[in-house]
Amino acid sequence: MTAPGYFELLRTRPNYRALWLGSVVSLAGDWFTLIALYNLLEEYTGSSEAVGLMLTARFLPPAFLSPMAGVVADRFSRKHVMVLCDLLRAVVVFGFLLVRTREDVWLVYALTFAQMSLAAFFDPAEQASIGSTVEPHEVVTANTLQGATWSAMLGVGAVAGGLLTTMVGRDASFVVDALSYLLSALFISRAVVPRPVQPPAAKTLAGRLGFTDLLEGLALVRARPEIRRVLWVKTGWGITGGAALMLYAVMGRHVFGVPGSPDAGVGVLLGMRGIGALIGPLIARRFGGDGPPFLERAIGWAFVVTALFWALFAFSPNLVVAAICLSLAHMGVATQWVFSSSLINLRVEDRFRGRVFAVDSMFFLVVLGFSSWAGGKALDAFHIQPRVLMASLSVILLGSGAIWWWLLRGRETSPGAAGRGRP
């Protein structure tokens, strides 16, 4: 069947539309908060390592909680999980208003940890719900739209967040984010999300606690090379991605800073990152459609594109050139993300989907958190120049891309890999 257009998908799939609307508002609010936290940590600590620690606090909780979060997403109502997480995240984000002095900075890490712990349960439920609220031939369209929404809200939220923080103050950004979670919960509560059909839970203690379900999901990943291979995509980028995200903030302030408005440079870089991420998957689909073999090849070329433009970003002469390079780099990053998520939705049965997405997230976030901390440490303790560190990351990313191409060598001989789960 022919894949629908993006507007047609939103018009004809009301349950997916409700999930999508929730993403629109909550993602925009999240970028407001991130810009405000960069501003807060710069004012109270002036430390690149502090920014790296904050990013680590964002990445590590989901990494450790994701395995059990995947079990929750497959065992319970995914809609109820998402709504509860949104309501609790609204309360947590309001807590950032309590940070008023340098001595309160510990709250930034604690609240960020709590916020992202809840995200660990929300994200697998949302990702798994996409495949159950659309038809199989609509999966890539839905995932591309989801990725485009993330990117568009990054562009809008980062630029608007930088302006709002500069003009009104960071407290307004925290309030906007908290309210966005409440609105997201309202939208999602109106969706009908099919509950995955699961066999009866084992009556052992391990079965009741979900460990049996977790082991079942891991066994599926181990037995299916076409699924196991896809788990490298986000992880391979995350090895360098955490440090790169930290460098965007540092370079936006100190290398490409705008005089009189230190947050504006960060906002411009993140905004252009969002624009690139928005159009990357849209363009890539036009070259080969939605078939899994094309999606896999496109992921490989996306590694190359990202590494190339990261290198050019590292030595850009000014903010304008840097922003363009970052936008082009994230065309590749977003293509990797959207296409790998689509492959999971296409190849994994609904009752396993939450657990596989959770394992994918776990590996990705562990390396992303370590990368963030290591990048900040490299700047502060070893005094590596930001441009040099950024260029080094581009070389390491090429190595991750080479591993992906090597993994693809065995796809034609993988038992049952060709065509399984294809629309």
Residue 263 predicted with pLDDT over 70: no
Look at residue 295 in the predicted model and tell me its pLDDT. Answer: 92
The pLDDT-based confidence of 215 (bands split at 50, 70, 90) is: confident
Of 354 and 315, the structure prediction assigns the larger pLDDT to: 315
CA 241 to each of CA 233, 237, 330, 371: distance values in angstroms, whole numbers, following the listed order: 12, 6, 11, 7
Topology at the third CATH level for domain 10-192+212-411 = Growth Hormone; Chain: A; (1.20.1250)
Range 250-265 average pLDDT: 76
pTM recorded for the entire structure: 0.70
Annotated domain spans of the chain: 10-192+212-411
Place of tokens 């370079």: 251
Confidence class of residue 275 from pLDDT cuts 50, 70 and 90? confident
Confidence (pLDDT) at 415: 39
Number of alpha helices (DSSP H) and beta strands (DSSP E) in the chain = 15, 0
Q: Between residues 195 and 80, which one has the greater pLDDT? A: 80
Spatial distance between the Cα atoms of 296 and 193, rounded to a whole number of angstroms: 29
**Coil, strand, or helix at residue 305?**
helix
Given a cut of 50, is residue 416 above it in pLDDT? no
d(CA 149, CA 147): 5
- Report whether pLDDT(323) > 70: yes
Averaging pLDDT over each range in 100-104, 201-205, 253-257, 287-291, which range is the top one?
100-104
- pLDDT of 225 above 80: yes
Pick from 182-191, 233-242, 331-340, 374-383: least confident: 374-383
Give residue 419's pLDDT.
Answer: 35
Tokens of 406: 């090597």
Q: Quickly tell me which residue has 């990357």 as its tokens.
A: 280
pLDDT digits over 345-370, tens only? 888 887 788 788 878 888 888 888 78
Is residue 10 pLDDT above 60, yes or no? yes
Q: Residue 412 pLDDT > 60, yes or no?
A: no
More confident of the two residues 139 and 312: 312
326 versus 380: which is more confidently predicted? 326
Evaluate if residue 206 carries a pLDDT over 80. Answer: no
25: tokens are 């508002």
Provide the residue type at 143 as one letter. N
Determine the residue type at 52: G
Q: Is the pLDDT of residue 13 over 80?
A: yes
| 70 band by pLDDT with thresholds 50, 70 and 90 | confident
Confidence of residue 66 (pLDDT cuts 50, 70, 90): confident
Collapse the DSSP code of 392 into the 3-class scheme (helix H, G, I; strand E, B; otherwise coil) and give the result. helix
Task: Indicate the pLDDT class of residue 197, thresholds 50, 70 and 90.
Answer: low
C-alpha distances (whole Å) from 270 to each of 7, 112, 252, 275, 341 are: 26, 20, 9, 9, 22
Query: Cα 118 vs. chain centroid, distance in angstroms?
Result: 14
Say what the pLDDT of residue 404 is.
Answer: 94
Amino acid at 203: K
